[in-house]
A and B are shown apart, each in its own frame.
Chain A
Amino acid sequence: MSCPATERLSAFIDGDLARAEAEATRTHAAGCARCTAALSDLGALVTAARGLDSPEPPPTLWMSLDGALARAERPSWLASWSSWRPFAAGALVGAAALALALIVLPGGRGTHPLEAPATAVAVAPTVAPDPLLEEAEAEFARAGASYERSIEKLRGLLEREEKGWSADERARVADRLAGLDDLIARSRELARQTPGDRTGNEQLFAAYQQKIAFLAAAVHRGGVWSDQRP
C-alpha cells in the first residue's frame, strides 16, 4: 500500500474509514515513519481543536437555520424528503458546527471577532474527568505495560545472544531497534493526544507488536544475518 492522502489519514483519525481501509491504513502506518508522523500531527490538530472553547450557540441559531431551510425551495431532484432526512440532519449539524467555528475561530474568513466569546471563555466551567474515560485509559495503559514487559524480556535474551555477534551485526540491530523505538514514541504521543480514542492506542499496540516480532526473530536466529541452517 502506498502512503494514503492526508484527507484519508484525517478520516482514519476521525474513525470515518471503512473497516478494511482503516485496517490497511493502520498496518501501513505501523511500518511507515512518514505516515506515523502525519498521524501524530493530525492527532495534535484534533487535540488542539478539542481544546477550543465550545460556547453554547445562541438560542436563536437553530431556529434561524431551521427557518432558512424551511423557506428554501425544495430542489426538484429531491424526490423524497424522508429518504434524505438523515443527510439533511447532518447538513444542519454541519451548518451549526460551521457557524460555531466561525464564531469561535479568531479571524474566521468573512467574520469579525465577536465580543461574547471572551466572556464565555472567562466563565467556562472546568469539566470533571469522566470516570469511564479514566477506566478506558487505564485498560489501555495495562495492555501497554504488558507489551513493555514482553519487550524487556526479549531485550534481555537479545543481549545474551548479541555477545557472539560481530560489531556490524550489533550495529544493524541497534539501528533497526532505534527506528522501532521512534515509531513507538510517536505512536505513544498520538495516543496521549487523543484520550478516549482507540485509534491512537491501536497504532501504539501495532508498533509494539512490530518490535516484539523483530526482537523474537533476532533472538531465534542467533544473529540476524548469519542463519546457518542448512
Chain B
Amino acid sequence: MRMRRFSLLVLGLAAAPAAAWAAPEGGDAALVDRREIVIPARAAELVRIDNLLGRVMVRGTSRAGEIHVIAEKHAPSAEALGRLRVHYTAFESGEVAIDTRVELGGRERSLPLGGSGVDLVLEIPADVAVEAKTFGGDVSAQGLRAGAKLETTGGKIGVSDVRGGVVTHQLRGGQKLAAVEGDVDLDGVEGDMDLRDLGGGRVDARVVDGSIRAEDVRSGFVRLVTTTGEIVLIGVIRPAAHYDLRSYAGDVRVVPVGDPAPFTLRARSASPVAASFPLRASRRDGEWLRAEYIGRRAPVRARTALLELSSTLGRVIIQPRTAAELR
C-alpha cells in the first residue's frame, strides 16, 4: 500500500525553549510544549487516533479537507519532553492514522506513562469516521456525522451530538452519551453509564461494576446490563420496542413518561414487582412473572412492546416519577 508518512512535532532538546512551565491537572509543575498543525485530508474517510500517552478530544467541523491537530506534550523534564513524539500517516485508502510515541532504548514505542504525556485535540471534517484509543486519558467525540469507535483503559468516555454508530470499550472511568443518532454498543467493566437522547435503532450497554441511567431512548431495541449496579430507564415506552434490562445485585427501574404503549412484561426479582400500572393476565412461569399492560387509550391493533426486566438480588420497579422527582 502506498502511503505518505510524515513526522510532525518531533520535539528534541533544541525545541525546549519553545516550551513553558505549567501546572497540569495532576498538580505538579510540568514542562509543556504546545504545537498546532493542519493535515491536508481531502480524501479522508477514517481517522484513527492511537494515544496511550494522554487524552483525545475530537470535534467535527464543517471545514472540509483538513484535520487540525493541537498536540500538547507535558513532562517533568526537558529530557523526557524531548522523547515524546506525535506522528501522522495519510494512506491513499482514505485513512489517516495519528499516533503518539515515546522514545525508549532507541525505538519509538506506543506506551502509557505516569508522569509525562501528550494530549490531542483534533478538529476533523464531520463526515469522517473516527476511531480513537487512549490508555489513562479521557476520550471524547462531538459533532461527528459518520460515527465513532472509542476505547480507553482508564479514561472517561464522552460522546455528544454524533450521527452514526457509536462503539465503546472501557476498563474503568465511566461513560456519558448524549444526542446520538445511530446504533450504540457500549462496553465497560467499572464505572457508571449516563445515556440521554439516543435515537438509533439499537442500544446495547454492558457494565460489570456500575449503574446505567438511560433517559429519552427512542430505539427499537434497548439492552442494558449491569452486574452490581442499578438500571434506570426514563422515557416513552415505544410501540413494538424491546427493552431488556438486567441487573444482578441492583434495582431495575423503569420510569415511563406519558401513557406507555401496550406492553408485555416479563420480570424476575428478589421481591414482588412494584408496578403502578394495571397489569392483566399475570401468571408465573418458573421464577419469571408474565403480565400484560393494554394501555389506557391504546389504539386498536397497537403493536405491543416487550419489557424484560430482571434483578436477581434487587427489585423491579415500574412507576412514573414521583411528584418530588418531577419537582
Which residues of A approach B to under 8 Å, CB–CB?
19, 130, 132-133, 135-136, 138-140, 142-143, 146-147, 150, 153-154, 157, 196-198, 205, 209, 212, 216, 219-220, 222, 228-230
Contacts and interface: CB of A to CB of B under 8 A. Distances in A.
A228 B172 CA distance: 32
Interface stretch (B102-110, B197-205, B296-304): B102-110
Contacts of A153: 208-209, 228
Contacts of B74: none
Interface of B: 48, 52, 80, 83, 97, 102, 104-105, 109-116, 135-136, 153-154, 171-172, 189-190, 206, 208-209, 225, 227-228, 246, 248-249, 266, 268, 285-288, 290, 308, 310, 312
B111 A136 contact: yes
A102 to B, nearest CB: 21
A198 B268 CA distance: 43
A146 to B, nearest CB: 6
Given A196-B105, A198-B109, A205-B153, A132 B248 contact: no
Contacts of B110: 198
A interface SS class:
helix
Given A143-B171, A219-B227, A229-B288, A135 B208 contact: no
Contact of A220 (B115, B171, B209, B246): B246
A132 B246 contact: no
A135 B114 CA distance: 6
A143 B286 CA distance: 41
List 3 tightest A-B contacts by C-beta distance, closest first. Answer: A136-B111, A139-B112, A228-B286
12 contacts: A133-B105, A136-B102, A136-B112, A142-B154, A146-B190, A153-B209, A153-B228, A197-B109, A212-B189, A216-B227, A230-B285, A230-B286
Contact of A150 (B48, B112, B208, B268): B208
